[in-house]
């Protein structure tokens, strides 16, 4: 292509990029169009740029990737004009013009990365700054790029209404700085800038080094979590930037979709296998955005992804089973599967179908969510068949006489530390035997007498995988609660009651909190309780949710995104209400509002007495209920580790 003004070679070592020219439309091609947003692409020997234009907002964002090649090992980024550089409370840095120039926001420092042939991130680190010049005529920064790596930089530019953007980035509410759980990475997002731990060069990645190959992979389930967080904070803060970010996440998911409608991940193999629960997250995300307003690009992407998932199933003798992973479709693929598994033909299933319950149920919900927002029932037969099979297999309860004592032994292995220490010597011996010999062979019994729901309410994750996975109990509570809420049915109430009872009676939440590898179960447990609270006014579930929120805090994690009250799968958009933003970060809020019911749960996650005060409009109108009666928020204090319910009896417009 012709010489571009974006870059120039200063010398044999340094590649210079002019920031003003980076945002220029010259030489770029539109590659994606959504409502009120377009994505453009520009590339040459030394760089690749994706530019998101939000014409309605007068804003642009670029993802710049520079490849210094072997000939150069430095990249200089320059912006001309009189600017001052200040730290943003939202994270990153603001370049504020002294004149009439645009405002720039750099959410995170440039990163140098090593990528493999499938664009998985092999290594990354903050780019080494060689030099920075702050002159009246402009700002420049020079970074070192090690051989074989690339430099990634994300920059927003606000061309109009800069005062508003400076205000949005120059002040933050407490609710924006509180931690929110990201589903697949099991990490937290606690600032606007944290979204760009995931948004990398126009795609959404997981923010963790995925097992077993220690790679960062693209992840649509994380994208869905980030979408819900942005959606909830957009309502709570009334900041436009969250709306732009929400649309950017949607575009970044669509940009990665394959021609067959699927998404590839390659978490485990170089076959670039798909993980269907992640794709279900893409379906939920696209459905949520389409529900806001019609858009042909969204509609096509959603229809293609849904058709792909509908095909990822095993037709058994009694119905359709939705698969967890594309490796399950062949013996060759399963030979590369990273976990031990046992082939079986139970109920006429294929030998390689692992029958992973959570993904099957999640797939049912994703397919039906598509029907709900698109009014297309072309996959209704698959949904009906999959639902019937799920109900059938969950009702299977063989070998009760054997499973009942075995599960009592299994329960010894997930007791919290204090209860383990209080066990008698014979009980300790039984616990050790169970942990060392019975648990590793649990799949033998599952092959002989397959069942998901155990006598004590424990829910097995899979029929084909080896091992006893207690961590998925929380996911099963969440998914069964989602199923009940979405289909408005009581057909799985017995399984749900038993699953909740197991968590409560076994005290496993304390075990999860004490174990670093298990703590990520707590946000899923809280999300399940949130859905139970939506469907049931019983104080019991609110008490359990408050306790779960405290456990999450003590474990160093964040609130699940749905607790912001803006998950359209749980609450339709026209029934959602903003979440109050507390003045003190030690107050955590669960938004249980829906429709004409205004309800919030406030939890003091600290061991100090904290004022129950708020700094957004909705919080100022809430009446908080205590045992002694009602009082206005600004007259009360919340005792250490205590919780109260808030309501708004009269609708506040």
SS (H, E, C) 33-92: EECCEEEEEEECCCEEEEEEEECCCCEEEEEEEECCCCCCCEEEEEEECCEEEEECCCCC
Cβ(221)–Cβ(599) under 8 Å? Answer: no
Report the 10 Å Cβ neighbour count for 497.
12
CB 224 within 8 A of CB 183: yes
How far is it, in rounded angstroms, from Cα 205 to Cα 430?
Answer: 43
Three-state DSSP class for 271? Answer: coil
Q: Which two tokens stand for residue 490?
A: 């009581």
State the Cα–Cα distance between residues 493 and 472, nearest whole angstrom.
18
Q: Tell me the DSSP string of 147-185.
A: TT-EEEEEEEEE-S-HHHHHHHHH---HHHHS-EEETTT
Can you give the pLDDT at residue 6? 55
Which residues partner with 80 through β-bridges? 138
Determine the Cα–Cα distance for residues 310 and 279; give it in Å rounded to an integer.
11
- Contact indicator for 178, 559 with CB cutoff of 8 Å: yes
Nearest to 564 by CA among 173, 271, 139: 173
Cα 466 → chain centroid: 27
Q: Return averaged pLDDT per consecutive 10 residues of the chain, 653 residues in all.
A: 48 79 89 96 91 95 87 86 93 91 95 97 96 90 92 94 90 97 98 98 97 97 98 97 98 98 97 97 98 96 98 97 97 95 96 98 98 97 98 96 96 94 94 93 93 97 93 97 97 96 96 95 98 96 98 98 98 96 96 96 96 83 63 67 85 48
Contact between 445 and 466 (Cβ < 8 Å): no
Q: Which residues pair with 102 in a beta bridge?
A: none
Torsions phi, psi of 185, nearest 5? -75, -25
Tokens, residue 82: 């009189």
Provide the pLDDT for residue 11. Answer: 56
Cα–Cα distance measured from residue 411 to residue 508, given in angstroms and rounded to the nearest whole number: 9
Please calculate the CA angle 83-87-90 and round it to the nearest 5 degrees.
Answer: 120
C-alpha closest to that of 413 among 387, 396, 431, 427: 431
Torsion sign over Cα 95, 98, 99, 100: positive
| DSSP three-state, residue 437 | helix
Q: What is the pLDDT of residue 46?
A: 84
Handedness of CA 446, 449, 451, 454 (dihedral sign): negative
d(CA 571, CA 592): 9
Written as six digits, the tokens of 632 are 């206005």
DSSP string, 241-271: HHHHHHHHHHHHHHTT--TTS-----SS-TT
Contacts of 399 (CB under 8 A, 6+ apart): 445, 448, 449, 451
Paired tokens of 244: 């732009």
- Name beta bridge partners: 155: 62
Q: How far is CA 110 from CA 106, 198, 226, in A?
A: 9, 14, 21
Helix (H) or strand (E) holding 29: strand 29-34
Is 644 in contact with 606 (CB distance < 8 Å)?
no
Extended beta strands in 248-334, E state: 313-315, 320-322
Query: CB-hemisphere CA count at 13 Å for 280?
Result: 26
Contacts of 337 (CB under 8 A, 6+ apart): 268, 325, 327
- Short-list 51, 57, 44, CA closest to 5: 44
- Is the distance from CB of 446 to CB of 346 less than 8 angstroms? no
Output the six-digit token pair for 97. Answer: 């013009």
Output the DSSP codes for 395-450.
H----HHHHHHHHHHHHHTT--HHHHHTS-HHHHHHHHHIIIIIGGGHHHHHHHS-
Direct distance between the N- and C-terminal alpha carbons of the chain, in angstroms, rounded to an integer? 56
């Amino acid at each position: 292509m012709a010489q571009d003004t974006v870059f120039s070679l200063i010398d044999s070592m340094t590649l210079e990029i002019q920031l003003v020219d980076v945002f220029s439309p010259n030489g770029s091609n539109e590659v994606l169009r959504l409502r009120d947003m377009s994505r453009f692409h520009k590339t040459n020997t030394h760089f690749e740029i994706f530019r998101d234009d939000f014409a309605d907002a007068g804003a642009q964002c670029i993802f710049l990737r520079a490849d210094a090649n072997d000939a150069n090992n430095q990249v200089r980024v320059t912006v001309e004009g009189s600017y001052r550089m200040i730290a943003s409370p939202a994270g990153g840095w603001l370049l504020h013009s002294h004149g009439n120039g645009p405002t720039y926001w750099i959410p995170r420092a440039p990163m140098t990365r090593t990528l493999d042939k499938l664009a998985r991130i092999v290594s990354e680190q903050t780019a080494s700054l060689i030099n920075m010049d702050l002159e009246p005529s402009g700002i420049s920064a020079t970074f070192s790029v090690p051989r074989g790596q690339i430099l990634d930089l994300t920059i927003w530019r606000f061309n109009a209404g800069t005062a508003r953007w400076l205000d949005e980035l120059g002040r933050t509410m407490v609710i924006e700085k509180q931690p929110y759980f990201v589903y697949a990475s099991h990490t937290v997002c606690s600032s606007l800038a944290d979204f760009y731990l995931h948004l990398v060069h126009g795609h959404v990645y997981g923010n963790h080094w995925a097992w077993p190959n220690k790679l960062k992979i693209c992840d649509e389930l994380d994208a869905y979590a980030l979408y819900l967080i942005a959606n909830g904070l957009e309502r709570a803060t009334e900041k436009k930037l969250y709306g732009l970010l929400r649309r950017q996440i949607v575009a970044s998911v669509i940009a990665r979709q394959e021609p067959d409608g699927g998404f590839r991940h390659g978490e485990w193999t170089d076959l670039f296998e798909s993980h269907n629960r992640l794709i279900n997250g893409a379906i939920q995300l696209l459905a949520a955005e389409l529900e806001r307003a019609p858009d042909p690009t969204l509609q096509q992407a959603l229809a293609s992804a849904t058709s792909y998932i509908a095909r990822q199933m095993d037709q058994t003798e009694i119905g359709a089973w939705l698969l967890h992973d594309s490796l399950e479709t062949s013996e060759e693929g399963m030979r590369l599967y990273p976990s031990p598994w046992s082939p079986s033909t139970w109920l006429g299933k294929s030998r390689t179908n692992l029958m992973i319950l959570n993904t099957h149920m999640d797939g049912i919900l994703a397919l039906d969510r598509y029907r709900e927002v698109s009014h297309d029932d072309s996959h209704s037969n698959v949904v009906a068949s999959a639902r019937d099979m799920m109900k059938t297999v969950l009702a299977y309860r063989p070998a009760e006489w054997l499973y009942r004592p075995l599960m009592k032994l299994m329960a010894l292995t997930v007791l919290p530390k204090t209860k383990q220490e209080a066990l008698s010597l014979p009980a300790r011996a039984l616990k050790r035997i169970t942990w060392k010999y019975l648990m590793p062979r649990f799949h033998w019994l599952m092959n002989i007498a397959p069942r998901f729901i155990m006598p004590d309410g424990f829910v097995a994750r899979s029929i084909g995988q080896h091992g006893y996975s207690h961590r998925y109990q929380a996911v099963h509570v969440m998914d069964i609660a989602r199923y009940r809420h979405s289909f408005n049915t009581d057909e799985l109430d017995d399984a749900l009651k038993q699953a909740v009872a197991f968590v409560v009676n076994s005290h496993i939440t304390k075990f999860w909190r004490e174990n670093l590898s298990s703590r990520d179960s707590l946000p899923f447990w809280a999300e399940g309780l949130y859905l139970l609270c939506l469907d049931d006014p019983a104080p019991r579930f609110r008490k359990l949710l408050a306790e779960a929120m405290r456990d999450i805090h003590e474990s160093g994690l964040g609130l699940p995104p749905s607790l912001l009250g803006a998950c359209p799968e749980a609450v339709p958009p026209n029934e959602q209400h903003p979440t109050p933003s507390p003045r003190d970060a030690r107050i955590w809020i669960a938004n249980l509002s829906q429709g004409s019911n205004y309800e919030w749960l406030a939890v003091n996650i600290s061991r100090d007495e904290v004022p129950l005060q708020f700094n957004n409009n909705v919080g100022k109108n809430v009446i908080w209920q205590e045992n002694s009666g009602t009082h206005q928020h600004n007259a009360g204090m919340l005792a250490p580790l205590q919780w109260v319910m808030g309501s708004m009896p009269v609708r506040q417009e």
